[in-house]
Amino acid sequence: MKVFTRISFILLMAACGCSLGGGDYALPSDLCGIGITPDPLRSILPQGGGIEQEKIDPDTTEPIVYSCRVRIDQDIAMAITVRVYDPTGFDLMESYRAAPSAYNIGSPYEDVIGGEYAILDSGGSLVQTSCPVKKDVDVLEINVRNHAASSESEEGRERMKDFTAAFMDSAKEEFGC
């Protein structure tokens, strides 16, 4: 009878989407060195027992200046990449259309984040903002990929938009924009 009760409890917890990971984790005040306020972060991360961050040193010729992965209970929940480049002749939508799966945006929705043109859905966002890091015309391109998003919804897009706006403000401060 104890085995049946334990199995029923596990099935009940799985059905309701509750965490068996030992409770909620403490939210960090930064993501791999870039500060973030907890509320927008809390809204897009899944429940779980533990959070880990991994700053990635990009081994690429692309102008990536920041890359971070966030894991919840060992599963990748979020990844963020920031590139710096000269935007001359660059179109954000063309970049997205050239490789849509790279940005984790399945149903692109055009919007404005922090006064900047953006493409987003519940699973990801792509935004560029002026930031003279190396010269007067540099741009930061920020791509947030939320691997924990399970479906597309207006509420999910709003959570992604809020998180991206908060992260963009912190990234601009970090890079001296």
Is the pLDDT at 174 greater than 60? The verdict is yes
pLDDT band at 3; cut points 50, 70, 90: very low
Chain segment 33-59, per-residue pLDDT in tens: 999 988 999 999 999 989 999 998 876
- Map the chain to HEC letters: CHHHHHHHHHHHHHHHCCCCCCCCCCCCCEECCEECCHHHHHHHCCCCCCEEEEECCCCCCCCEEEEEEEEECCEEEEEEEEEEECCCCCCHHHHHHHCHHHHCCCCCEEEEECCEEEEEECCEEEEEEECCCCCCCCEEEEEEEECCCCCCCHHHHHHHHHHHHHHHHHHHHHCCC
What is the band of 162 on the pLDDT scale with cuts at 50, 70, 90? very high
Q: What is the mean pLDDT of the chain?
A: 81
